[in-house]
Amino acid sequence: MVQVMKRWVVWLPWLAALGLLAWVVRAVPLTAVLETLRGLTWWQIGILVVLNGVALVWLMGRWWLLLWGMGWRMPLGMAVGHRLAAFGVSYFTPGPHFGGEPVQVLLAEKGHGVPRRTAVSAVSLDKSLELLVNFAFLLFGVLVTLRAGLLRPGVGEEAIGVSVGLLLFPVGYLVAIWGGRRPLTGAFGLMQPVGKRWGWYGTAVNGLAASERQAHQLCRQSPRLFALALLLSVASWLVLLLEYGLMLTFLGANLSPVQIIVSLTAMRLAYLLPLPGGLGSLEASQVFALELMGADPAIGLSASLLIRGRDVALGLIGLWWGAKMMG
């Protein structure tokens, strides 16, 4: 019985993804999607590629900046490659883009001699800033959607509650680190009654405590650098929003800024579902959002295919880079 349950747990996300994809294919004629994609010109594709490249370098340069603030120099190109490797692992792992952080730590440690505690500290701060900005936009998007009258009051209140709850995690962690506390070390310490049986447990707790102390030192001693890292996160999100809006416009949608934010919020919610790379949920969210706002759902599916192709390509490049660096 236990084995059967385990198999269901493994296969359930894939079955859900296939179900969503089947709904999308039935809802949108593929001929309409192909016709929409054919309308793109090379200069439009070029603009989207450039904007996405700028956003990626800024997003991934945040980790490079944090390492620099901790006294470790790494070529920006190498930092972007290592961050892509982490993205590749996270992207193809079921869930909301977690799983690649250990790869990021190992690449910094093995390839550049960064002490593990420093690498863990930089990755923790980098991930916290990423989640902070992501969940802040999610809350903003839900509020915009509610104000636009696209959510029922009860549903809107629940969505706001979930968004605030998610936002509290990175905010709470960063506030605790700034105040000199060690939240992850404390959480890990709760496992002591069981963990003391494991030989590696004490070393892991001590290493985590050292990492969080180093993160605290960076926040207190280099507040401007920390603020710059946060500014990079916000700026890259604005570029991604611009890229997304232009993509929909190039595909033929005539949406207001509010409608673009609503559609992008639907996409971010889709990525929170426990599906590998948001498979099925991304496509369904864009078809549903565009149709809800009176636009051609074929544009939504076309946009999701462009996003899917971009992310898969970046993920595969990241996996190749990680295998090359660790091989």
SS3 51: helix
Q: Check pLDDT > 90 for residue 300.
A: yes
For residue 320, give every residue at least 6 positions away whose Cβ sits within 8 Å of its Cβ, in sequence order, or none: none
Alpha-carbon span 245 to 259, nearest angstrom: 9
Q: Give the CA-trace dihedral at 240, 48, 251, 38, to 10 degrees.
A: -150
Distance from chain centroid for Cα 2: 33
Place of tokens 């894939």: 14
Whose CA is closest to 64, among 115, 111, 126?
A: 126
Q: Which two tokens stand for residue 256?
A: 């207001």
Whose CA is closest to 47, among 218, 197, 246?
A: 246
Q: Supply the DSSP symbol for 53.
A: H
- What does the pLDDT look like over 216-270, one tens digit per residue? 777 788 889 889 999 999 999 999 999 999 999 999 999 999 999 999 999 988 8
Q: Check pLDDT > 70 for residue 206.
A: no
SS3 32: helix
Burial class (CB in 10 A: 0-12, 13-18, 19+), 227: exposed
pTM of the prediction?
Answer: 0.87
